Amino acid sequence: MSDSSADFAALPLASELLSNLATLGYRTMTPIQAESLPPMLAGRDVIARAKTGSGKTVAFGLGLLSRLSLASSRVQGLVLCPTRELADQVAGELRRLARSLPNVKVLTLCGGAPLGPQRASLEHGAHLVVGTPGRVEEHLRKGALDLSGLETLVLDEADRMLDMGFQAAMEAIIAETPARRQLLLFSATYAEAIRPIAERLMREPVTVEVDEPHDDTTIRQHFYRIADESARFEALRRLLLHVRPVSSVVFCNTKRETDEVAEALNDASFSALALHGDLEQRDRDRLLVLFANGSASILVATDVAARGLDIASLDAVFNYRIARELEVHVHRIGRTGRAGGSGVACTLVSEQEEYRLARLADFLGETLATEPLPSRAVLERSPLTPAMATLELGGGKKQKVRPGDILGALTGEGGIAGDQVGKIKVLANSAYVAVRRDVVGAALDQLANGKLKGRSFRARRIRR
Ligand code: ADP
Ligand code: MG
């Protein structure tokens, strides 16, 4: 049973916002949300600190949306973030939270994109702006952005913005906001450097801090130094052959790299699938079925593509390249060792990437030593073969095919045993069925030659 005091419904929020939260799967508040939302909704300035992944975006997002007056097209909320990636993430979350309200305009203003289109979007009006300090200040200086009607200013990852040298830009921006705006300061670490700003600019702020709860999952993190780029792929092979995970994800930083790595793994007799954001929904769904039913053991993915991936148990996560963002790293490794299990996270680090490792060590407050790779002798081993194979049947719900019919056809006269059949997924016009790899030929014959619902359907094996 959930604690009713942690129920979003206890908050003074519009019913559209509340019902949308449920559709997003947000049922109860995380601790930092439960602590920070009441004072935020009461209009107070708030300093909030909680670890990465604790739900800070939803916390300040609801704070921003609760004060929005849609009748006005002035900029009413501004979120400053340290990097473009984080700004994009925050803007995405704000749009999801706001989707039940009519036409909330959320605009991102970050460097690396041309100024002109951003200026044009500003002229069309935006309710909420999310951006990096440098670019937001530039628009202010050029008169393209007017913050005189601002209600709420959020400094997300305020500590990191200071570390990155954004103090002057932040102060210049704050100076352009009305004196009585609400100021919200969110961070993952307790930073002394924030104090002076907070004292000067906030009015009797409420401070809320949530310390890490005890967590019984154990993720063993390992880091490996590679001499140069040409050593990277072999290092991954050695780790895969040494750890021998039944299911694992290899994270890459670009979609091109996911394709290259998956192809090279398949050439080396592994069973890998490349998952990236450019895939059509159908292809993505098919790959995920193959992975989830045990027909492929390695998913090579970008962070974007892996978002929302719901895989119960991964034995290991490999970072082919260490993530550019600390929070991305934490989310990646959190995919292994879920729910009390244990998991392994292996990260490859080149000399050029060493500073990211140092930053991560700093952030985790631990020393992170690199280890030698498993010896070259492991390259003699052959890769693990997935236990299952997948057959596609040319009939689905529209043809009234149910899982039981498929199971019946496979195990009927002369067929295979029930325990050789794995997951069955029935779609609109087709179905995927997993069978043990060693009986795949017999299963295919059985489906292709037998009858199902009194008809025969096409059946074929799919590999990716
Ligand atoms: P932080 O900014 O604290 O690092 P995020 O805002 O990125 O964390 O949130 C981490 C994850 O938690 C996101 O995937 C988000 O969708 C999810 N999340 C946030 N609030 C809730 C909630 N109340 N219930 C379930 N999931 C949540
Ligand atoms: Mg955050």
Residues 171 and 51 in one domain: yes
Structure tokens at 348: 């490859």
Nearest CA residue ID for atom 15, ligand 1: 55
What is the distance in A from the centroid of ligand 1 to the CA of 54? 6
Q: How far does CA 77 lie from the centroid of its chain?
A: 25
Residues 437 and 325 in one domain: no
What is the distance in A from the centroid of ligand 1 to the CA of 95? 14
Residues 333 and 454 in one domain: no
Structure tokens at 376: 């070259």
pLDDT over threshold 60, residue 215: no
Could you tell me if residue 162 is inside a domain? yes
Residues 97 and 190 in one domain: yes
Could you tell me if residue 214 is inside a domain? no
Residues 170 and 280 in one domain: no
Cα 359 to Cα 325: distance, rounded to the nearest angstrom: 10
Shortest-distance atom of ligand 1 to CA 156:
2
pLDDT over threshold 50, residue 12: yes
Shortest-distance atom of ligand 1 to CA 8:
23
Shortest-distance atom of ligand 1 to CA 29:
23
Shortest-distance atom of ligand 1 to CA 30:
23
Structure tokens at 123: 């002229």
**String of DSSP letters for 277-310:** TTS-HHHHHHHHHHHHTTS--EEEE-HHHHTT--
pLDDT in tens, 90-149: 999 999 999 989 889 999 999 888 999 999 999 999 999 999 999 999 999 999 999 999
Could you tell me if residue 35 is inside a domain? yes
Average of per-residue pLDDT values in the chain: 89
pLDDT over threshold 60, residue 163: yes
For residue 200, give every residue at least 6 positions away whose Cβ sits within 8 Å of its Cβ, in sequence order, or none.
none
Shortest-distance atom of ligand 1 to CA 157:
2
Shortest CA distance to 393 belongs to which of 425, 418, 417, 440?
A: 425
How much of the chain exceeds pLDDT 70, in percent? 94
Residues 15 and 155 in one domain: yes
Write down the pLDDT at residue 418. 84
Shortest CA distance to 238 belongs to which of 380, 385, 374, 384?
A: 374
Nearest CA residue ID for atom 16, ligand 1: 55
Q: What is the mean pLDDT of residues 64-84?
A: 93
Domain end, chosen from 209, 233, 248, is at 209
Tell me the ligand closest to 30's alpha carbon. Answer: 1
Print the domain residue range for 452. 388-462
What is the distance in A from the centroid of ligand 2 to the CA of 157? 7
Could you tell me if residue 79 is inside a domain? yes
**String of DSSP letters for 396-440:** -GGGT--HHHHHHHHHSTT---GGGEEEEEE-SS-EEEEEEGGGH
Write down the pLDDT at residue 340. 47
Tell me the ligand closest to 52's alpha carbon. Answer: 1
Shortest CA distance to 187 belongs to which of 82, 330, 293, 296?
A: 82
Stretch among 37-51, 153-167, 221-235 having the lowest mean pLDDT: 153-167
Could you tell me if residue 360 is inside a domain? yes
Stretch among 23-32, 186-195, 316-325 having the lowest mean pLDDT: 186-195
Stretch among 59-73, 116-130, 356-370, 431-445 having the lowest mean pLDDT: 356-370
pLDDT over threshold 60, residue 338: no
Could you tell me if residue 205 is inside a domain? yes
pLDDT over threshold 50, residue 221: yes
What is the distance in A from the centroid of ligand 2 to the CA of 54? 8
pLDDT over threshold 70, residue 192: yes
Tell me the ligand closest to 334's alpha carbon. Answer: 1
- Residue 241 confidence class, pLDDT cut points 50, 70, 90: very high
Q: How far does CA 247 lie from the centroid of its chain?
A: 18
Domain end, chosen from 362, 380, 398, is at 380
Write down the pLDDT at residue 5. 65
Tell me the CATH number at 257.
Answer: 3.40.50.300
Write down the pLDDT at residue 308. 58
Residues 276 and 396 in one domain: no
Q: What is the mean pLDDT of residues 215-234?
A: 84
Shortest-distance atom of ligand 1 to CA 93:
16
Pocket lined around ligand 1, Cβ cut-off 6 Å? 26, 29-30, 33, 50, 52-58, 327
Ligand 1: residue of 13, 57, 93, 330 to mutate (most ligand atoms within 8 A of CB) is 57
Could you tell me if residue 320 is inside a domain? yes
Q: Select the more confidently predicted residue: 62 or 457.
A: 62
Write down the pLDDT at residue 326. 83
Cα 160 to Cα 253: distance, rounded to the nearest angstrom: 22
pLDDT over threshold 60, residue 58: yes
Write down the pLDDT at residue 80. 97
Tell me the ligand closest to 32's alpha carbon. Answer: 1
Residues 183 and 227 in one domain: no
What is the distance in A from the centroid of ligand 1 to the CA of 53? 6
Could you tell me if residue 82 is inside a domain? yes
What is the distance in A from the centroid of ligand 1 to the CA of 55? 3
What is the distance in A from the centroid of ligand 2 to the CA of 190? 14
Instruction: Report the SS3 class of residue 273.
Output: strand
pLDDT in tens, 411-436: 888 888 888 888 888 899 999 999 99
Stretch among 224-228, 229-233, 362-366 having the lowest mean pLDDT: 362-366
Domain end, chosen from 180, 209, 238, is at 209
Write down the pLDDT at residue 464. 82
What type of residue sits at position 347? T
Tell me the chain's radius of gyration from C-alpha atoms. 26
